[in-house]
């Protein structure tokens, strides 16, 4: 069956669509694997030596005609594989890598390197769904694995992959690496075999393109058994046990956040209240200190950062222009301690006894 793949999208275009969270997504009601009651195995006939089979697989990838078993596996896995684009504080593109959803609420996995220094990211699916990434739930630089959270609307049902929990895989096991269709031909699925294992990593026979970093390594049932962390002539993957260890540190009420944004955000400090350091009282203007003479007004003073009065506004007049002028003349002499600049409304009363 010929597969029609969407064209490669320029990474910077994603910025303009990062808010389009209501894009169409494939709707299913349960995990991806629940839809396949009799999964097609990706193992080969017993009489074919492993080396010969890998060679045949490489030829199949080159001609873009994968086996029917591999094509069936791709159909089940591909909708959950995403293209993750990360941005820095200034909105510049940092990098784009592959990832994959592991839960219906938008949790997904990619490499820790993919989001290093990022303060924002978007995740895009093969069906043109675009999701804003709210932040990181947990990450391990040692394993180069990160778990993030995409913003998923409650009414959206998301396709995701299950993690393999039936036991560890062994050397010689047949697996498949399924990249993002948005990476073009580089995202084609590759049927491969595990050639070596060590603590916290395993090697896979055959080369994979750089865009495969962050892609899921799945078994014949479509369960995730690892995540690609290094591609090229030698493909390295971290086992699903490492991912399980990282997920165990994520509490049910954990909030996703961008560590880089927290580091660059200034720590808020309480602003000290401005204080006056010189505030003489206005004097009666000459000739106005007659018995029973009185007047009360309100004046708004504006202080600059150095503490000088730069403006005086009459909020309420005293009713006597001489009183107003005397008050303004004296209030201009007021001083405050250095600050960020502030205003104060001052009541002034003239009264004779």
Given the structure tokens 């609307």, which residue do they identify? 153
pLDDT at 233: 86
Q: Which domains does the chain have, with CATH numbers?
A: 13-264 (2.40.10.120), 276-351 (3.30.2420.10)
Question: pLDDT tens digits, residue range 274-324?
Answer: 888 888 988 888 877 677 788 899 999 999 988 999 999 999 999 999 999
Question: Band of the pLDDT at 32, cuts 50, 70, 90?
Answer: very low
DSSP collapsed to 3 states, 229-279: EECECCEEEEEHHHHHHHHCCCCCCCCCECHHHHHHCCCCCCCCCCCEEEC
Rounded Cα distance between 243 and 247, Å, is: 6
Retrieve residue 180's tokens: 């993002």
pLDDT at 292: 74
| C-alpha distance from residue 227 to each of 69, 157, 186, 189, 312 (Å) | 21, 24, 16, 14, 68
Question: pLDDT tens digits, residue range 157-209?
Answer: 899 999 998 767 888 999 999 999 899 888 899 999 999 988 889 999 988 99
Question: pLDDT tens digits, residue range 100-152?
Answer: 999 999 999 999 999 999 999 999 999 889 999 999 999 999 999 999 999 99
pTM above 0.75, yes or no: no
């Amino acid at each position: 069956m010929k597969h029609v793949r969407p064209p490669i999208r320029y990474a910077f275009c994603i910025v303009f669509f990062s808010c389009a969270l209501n894009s169409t997504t494939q709707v299913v009601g349960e995990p991806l694997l629940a839809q396949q009651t009799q999964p097609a195995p990706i193992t080969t006939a017993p009489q074919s030596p492993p080396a010969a089979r890998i060679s045949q697989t490489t030829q199949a990838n080159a001609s873009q005609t994968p086996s029917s078993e591999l094509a069936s596996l791709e159909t089940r896995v591909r909708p959950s594989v995403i293209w993750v684009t990360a941005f820095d504080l200034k909105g510049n593109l940092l990098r784009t890598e592959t990832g994959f959803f592991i839960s219906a609420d938008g949790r997904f996995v990619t490499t820790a390197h993919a989001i290093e220094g990022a303060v924002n990211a978007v995740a895009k699916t093969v069906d043109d769904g675009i999701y804003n990434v709210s932040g990181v739930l947990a990450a391990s630089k040692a394993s180069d694995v990160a778990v993030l959270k995409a913003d998923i609307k409650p009414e959206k049902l998301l396709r995701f992959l299950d993690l393999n929990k039936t036991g560890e895989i062994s050397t010689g096991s047949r697996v498949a690496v399924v990249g993002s269709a948005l990476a073009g031909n580089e995202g084609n699925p590759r049927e491969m075999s595990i050639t070596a294992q060590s603590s916290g990593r395993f090697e896979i026979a055959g080369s994979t393109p750089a865009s495969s970093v962050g892609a899921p390594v799945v078994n014949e049932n479509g369960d995730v058994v690892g995540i690609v962390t290094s591609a090229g002539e030698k493909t390295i993957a971290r086992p699903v046990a490492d991912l399980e260890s990282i997920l165990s540190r994520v509490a049910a009420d954990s909030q996703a956040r961008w560590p880089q944004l927290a580091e660059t955000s200034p720590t808020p400090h309480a602003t000290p209240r401005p204080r006056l350091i010189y505030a003489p009282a206005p004097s009666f203007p000459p000739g106005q200190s007659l018995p029973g003479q009185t007047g009360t007004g309100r004046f708004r003073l504006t202080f600059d950062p150095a503490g000088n009065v730069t403006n005086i506004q009459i909020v309420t007049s005293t009713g006597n222009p001489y009183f107003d002028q005397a008050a303004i003349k004296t209030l201009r002499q007021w001083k405050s301690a250095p600050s960020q600049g502030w205003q104060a409304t001052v009541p002034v009363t003239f009264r004779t006894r």
